[in-house]
């Protein structure tokens, strides 16, 4: 290895980390929190006894506990999202190290840059939610597993158990990453004469993980029995082939695409061809296109990490729908690594043609992410109410669940009435209208995360109110109804 190559190998992780951090910190606090982030903000502000009750009875306790501690540094949008941004940036060099373990520096650099520039990974690294942190724990668990398999020692298995437990308590879907790890350990045991010891160590580690995750299992089963996740079925339904393609498009160019549709599909095709080359030794060069259907150890490891979890979730979602891009972001790193390996193996115009299409797609998506508002406009909506609210006004929230994010931005003195987005019956609507008429002379109607406009229509038809003004913000409808004298 030349001195130049040696320096490139040595500095690549630091360069990737710096680039990933800059991309994830850029515009981090520019936009409002959205619906889900509002719940994170509520938990971050809880007092000690209430927080302990939430952590004991709600899913993903580790993320909320860490966010609560993190919020002591500040609870602005930037501060709340910073935990995810740092986790997302740190994931990149960890994935680089795993890719390098199998295929050396060139493939690892391509993989690292694809993940660092991934619009989808950047998007969820800029959310005050658990997805980026869970991805980091899962990546660290994979790194520890590879160390344990190549240099068996109790410390590596201990770190594997630790990082895996952290991942599970941060986001339940991490369990499927561990299933993929198990498949790889079985493969290594089958191909290696001394693999039995590693298999026994992995089984012992898995037993320890089950014990450590028992509190999480209790919460999970309680929520499943109580129908807590039933809204997923109502909103998304059973996934089909179109949903799989949509997830692949999100993995390729993110969910902020605003460029030509043909380029979006071209980026997906480029990723697909690069992944095929990374999996199966598809030889891409100027003078030949040859396919060798032979999978090496790296292809088995990363292929299992991509295919097994997604296939499992797709199958389970036929009974309990949960096939959603943000839940699947844990499996984005294998997608980038396999494509990176394929680009490293390609030659000449094949390499730079595929890379050019992929990077152009990412660049257009990132440009839209940074330049155009993407999230719900709660800051603007709350500012509008605060600027025009008068004594005697009443605020009515439809759906009631938006109270968390609304309360983050609005702390005015006006009373707030929460109404279910499912309310459509006449007597119920009449009762709400009567209450608004009794409690205030003007009513602010805030609607989000519902398509039910029954209350809006009721107030328009009610002889006691007249629509004074209305505004639209991203994901929010705001209307001011005044009492008729």
pLDDT in tens, 98-111: 999 999 999 999 99
Count the Cβ atoms, other than its own, within 10 Å of residue 407: 17
Average pLDDT on 307-311 reads 96
pLDDT at 8 over 80: no
Share of the chain above pLDDT 70, in %: 95
Q: Do 278 and 341 form a contact (C-beta atoms < 8 A)?
A: yes
Model confidence at 483, pLDDT cuts 50, 70, 90, reads confident
The pLDDT value recorded for residue 285 is 56
Could you tell me which of 476, 473, 440, 472 has the C-alpha nearest to residue 459?
Answer: 440
The pLDDT value recorded for residue 144 is 98
pLDDT at 283 over 70: no
Q: Do 321 and 238 form a contact (C-beta atoms < 8 A)?
A: yes
Higher pLDDT among residues 281 and 97, named by residue:
97
Model confidence at 237, pLDDT cuts 50, 70, 90, reads confident
Higher pLDDT among residues 345 and 133, named by residue:
133
The pLDDT value recorded for residue 233 is 77
pLDDT at 294 over 70: no
Q: Do 473 and 373 form a contact (C-beta atoms < 8 A)?
A: no
The pLDDT value recorded for residue 286 is 55
Residues 6+ positions from 392 with CB-CB distance below 8 Å: 440, 441, 442
Model confidence at 128, pLDDT cuts 50, 70, 90, reads very high
The pLDDT value recorded for residue 292 is 58
pLDDT at 247 over 70: yes
Average pLDDT on 310-327 reads 92
HEC-encoded secondary structure of the chain: CCHHHHHHHHHHHHHHHHHHHHHHHCCCCCCCCCHHHHHHHHHHCCCHHHHHHHHHHCCCHHHHHHHHHHHHHCCCHHHHHHHHHHHHHHHHHHHHHHHHHHHCHHHHHHHHHHHHCCHHHHHHHCCCCCHHHHHHHHHHHHHHHHHHHHCCCHHHHHHHHHHHHHHHHHCCCHHHHHHHHHHHHHHHHHHCCCHHHHHHHHHHHHHHHHHHCHHHHHHHHHHHHHCCCHHHHHHHCCCCHHHHHHHHHHHHHCCCCCCCHHHHHHHHHHHHHHHHHHHHCEEEECCEEEECCCCCHHHHHHHHHHHHHHHHHHHHCCCCCCCCHHHCHHHHHHHHHHHHHHHHHCCHHHHHHHHHHHHHHHHHHHHHHHHCCCCCCHHHHHHHHHHHCCCCEEEEEECHHHHHHHHHHCCCCCCEEEECCCCCCHHHHHHHHHHHHHHCCEEEEEECCCCCCHHHHHHHHCCCEEEEEEEEECCEEEEEEEECC
Average pLDDT on 305-311 reads 96
Tens digits of residue pLDDT in 324-378: 989 999 999 999 999 999 999 888 888 899 999 999 999 999 999 999 999 999 9
Residues 6+ positions from 338 with CB-CB distance below 8 Å: 274, 275, 278, 279, 299, 302, 303, 306
Mean pLDDT of the chain: 91
The pLDDT value recorded for residue 230 is 75
Please give the model's pTM, rounded to 2 decimal places.
0.94
Give the distance between the most distant pair of CA atoms in the chain. 89
Tens digits of residue pLDDT in 154-180: 999 999 999 999 999 999 999 999 999
Task: Report how far apart the first and last C-alpha atoms of the chain are (Å, whole number).
Answer: 86
The pLDDT value recorded for residue 322 is 87
Could you tell me which of 166, 170, 141 has the C-alpha nearest to residue 156?
Answer: 141
Higher pLDDT among residues 194 and 239, named by residue:
239
Calpha distance 171→62 (Å, rounded): 9
Average pLDDT on 53-72 reads 93
pLDDT at 290 over 70: no
Could you tell me which of 185, 130, 127, 174 has the C-alpha nearest to residue 152?
Answer: 185
Tens digits of residue pLDDT in 445-482: 999 998 888 998 998 888 888 999 999 999 999 999 99
């Amino acid at each position: 290895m030349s001195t130049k190559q040696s320096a490139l190998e040595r500095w690549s992780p630091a360069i990737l980390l710096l680039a990933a951090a800059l991309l994830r910190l850029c515009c981090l606090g520019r936009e409002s929190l959205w619906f889900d982030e509002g719940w994170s903000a509520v938990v971050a502000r809880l007092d000690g006894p209430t927080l302990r009750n939430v952590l004991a009875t709600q899913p993903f306790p580790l993320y909320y506990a860490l966010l609560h501690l993190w919020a002591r540094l500040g609870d602005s949008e930037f501060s709340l999202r910073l935990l995810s941004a740092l986790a997302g940036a740190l994931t990149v060099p960890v994935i680089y190290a795993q890719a390098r373990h199998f295929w050396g520096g060139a493939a690892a650099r391509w993989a690292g840059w694809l993940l660092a520039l991934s619009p989808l990974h950047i998007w969820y690294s800029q959310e005050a939610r658990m997805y980026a942190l869970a991805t980091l724990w899962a990546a660290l668990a994979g790194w520890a597993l590879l160390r344990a398999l190549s240099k068996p020692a109790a410390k590596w298995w201990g770190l594997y158990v630790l990082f895996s437990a952290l991942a599970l308590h941060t986001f339940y879907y991490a369990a499927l990453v561990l299933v993929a790890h198990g498949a790889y350990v079985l493969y290594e045991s089958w191909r290696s004469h001394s693999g039995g010891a590693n298999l026994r160590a992995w089984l012992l580690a898995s037993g320890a993980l089950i014990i450590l995750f028992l509190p999480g299992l209790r919460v999970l089963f309680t929520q499943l029995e109580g129908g807590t996740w039933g809204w997923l079925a109502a909103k998304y339904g059973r996934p089909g082939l179109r949903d799989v393609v949509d997830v692949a498009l999100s993995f390729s160019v993110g969910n902020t695409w605003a460029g030509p549709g043909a380029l979006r599909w071209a980026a997906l095709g480029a990723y697909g061809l690069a992944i095929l080359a990374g999996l199966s030794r598809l030889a891409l060069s100027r003078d030949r296109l040859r396919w060798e259907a032979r999978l090496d150890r790296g292809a088995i490891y990363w292929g299992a990490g991509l295919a097994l979890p997604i296939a499992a979730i797709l199958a389970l979602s036929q009974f309990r729908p949960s096939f959603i891009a943000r839940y699947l972001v844990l499996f984005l790193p294998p997608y980038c690594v396999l494509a990176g390996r394929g680009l490293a193996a390609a030659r000449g115009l094949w390499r730079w043609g595929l890379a050019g299409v992929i990077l152009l797609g990412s660049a257009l998506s990132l440009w839209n992410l940074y330049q155009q508002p993407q999230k719900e406009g709660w800051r603007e909506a709350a500012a509008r109410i605060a600027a025009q609210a008068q004594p005697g006004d009443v605020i009515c929230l439809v759906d009631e669940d938006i109270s968390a994010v609304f309360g983050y931005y609005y702390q005015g003195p006006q009373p707030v009435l929460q109404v279910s987005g499912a309310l459509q019956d006449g007597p119920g609507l009449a009762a709400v209208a009567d209450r608004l008429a009794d409690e205030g002379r003007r009513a602010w109607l805030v609607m989000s995360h519902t398509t039910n406009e029954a209350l809006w229509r009721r107030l328009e038809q009610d002889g006691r109110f007249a629509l004074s003004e209305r505004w639209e913000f991203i994901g929010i409808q705001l209307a001011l109804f005044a009492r008729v004298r």
